[in-house]
Structure 1
Amino acid sequence: MDTTTIRTAAIDDLAAMVEVHTQARTAYYRAGGLAEAELADPVEHAERTAGWRRAIGGERHIALCAVRGDRVVGVLSMGALEEGVCELYQLHVRPGSWGLGIGSRLHAAYLAALRDALVPYGRLCVWERNGRAREFYVRHGWRADGHRTPGPGGADYLRTRLRVG
């Protein structure tokens, strides 16, 4: 029986959320060939912490946690629901919890928020070397829209779009 719950993030979750994000990004950037020095950059860590702090209880973001027992095992941040599109900024699962359906549960919560707000489209960017994430999003119906922005390690971020319906 799955004991994972999805709930709105609270400021008390901040450290655990940053830890999940850090562990997940380390795994996918390392797999994509990013240099170890770039993965441990303290400025990047401070920016992740500030970003999650803004997302928790912010007016322009919604932040969710996936919790198993008393441990945060997944996190999600989305933009405000408006103007026909909602950006999915972050979706990360603690690497030790991959394959348990936690990412899909967080994704379902994102889609439910869009449906409830009658927002017809989702949008996100994914690092092109993150094959695991790219496969996840394709399985969930996301399609590249052709827009690319420079990313780390000489690899682009690919923008994708999902029609919610």
Structure 2
Amino acid sequence: MIRTALPAEAAAVADLHARARATYYPDGVPQDGTDWLAAWRSAIERPDGHVLCLVQDGRIAAIASFRTAEGAPSDTVKLYQFHVEPDQWRSGLGSALHAACVEEWRADGKRAATLDVHVGNRRARAFYARLGWVADPAHPPAEDDHHLALRHPVTGE
């Protein structure tokens, strides 16, 4: 089942986020002082944002957080976080959640979506490429940046 995450689920969402991120940082997840529990609680409660979760066997197995970024065109949505339980990769859960996101974006009149992916996260980059995400020509990578900007034509154009 795919549905909106609830504020009471912020800890479960933050835990999933931590497990997924740990897989693409070979030296461990950088400790930048971010309180991820508070960040996820805020994302879930934001009136201008949305956190979808895919629930399987009574637990959250995948999450997606998105909203219109400040200063971005109103017809463009930014996918801030997208995580699937690592032991569920290649099971179809990520594709199902992504399809639900695209469906919601279309219903909301969005024409494009953007995201930033960690350059070293080859698995995620391949996943996004299979789903139609391409390098965002408006945001070429900077030499010292560890992220790649991707764009998705929500309308199918």
TM-score bracket, normalised by the shorter chain, equals 0.7 to 0.9
Q: Give the one of 5, 20, 26 matched to 2:22.
A: 26
Instruction: Identify the residue that residue 91 of structure 2 maps to in structure 1.
Output: 100
The answer as to whether partners of 1:63 and 1:78 remain within 8 angstroms in 2 is yes
What SS does structure 2 have at the residue aligned with 1:78?
strand
Unaligned runs of 5+ in 2: none
Unaligned runs of 5+ in 1: none
More strand by share: 1
- Supply the distance in 2 between the matched residues of 1:61 and 1:117 (Cα, whole angstroms): 12
- Supply the distance in 1 between the matched residues of 2:43 and 2:146 (Cα, whole angstroms): 24
What SS does structure 1 have at the residue aligned with 2:114?
strand
The answer as to whether partners of 1:59 and 1:80 remain within 8 angstroms in 2 is no
Shift of 1:70: 1.0
More helix by share: 1
The answer as to whether partners of 2:68 and 2:74 remain within 8 angstroms in 1 is no
Describe the shift of the 1:97–1:117 C-alpha distance in structure 2 as closer, same or farther (beyond 3 A): same
Question: Can you list the C-alpha shifts for 1:103-135, whole angstroms capped at 9, x where unaligned?
Answer: 111111110111101110000010110000000
Shift of 1:57: 2.8
The aligned runs of 1:7-156 (5 Å cut-off) are 7-30=3-26, 35-36=27-28, 39=29, 41=31, 43-44=33-34, 46=35, 48-80=36-68, 83-146=74-137, 147=139, 148=141, 156=146
Shift of 1:149: 5.4
| TM-score after normalising by structure 1 | 0.83
Identity of aligned residues (%): 35
| TM-score after normalising by structure 2 | 0.87
The answer as to whether partners of 1:62 and 1:80 remain within 8 angstroms in 2 is no
**What is the CA RMSD across the aligned residues, in angstroms?**
1.9
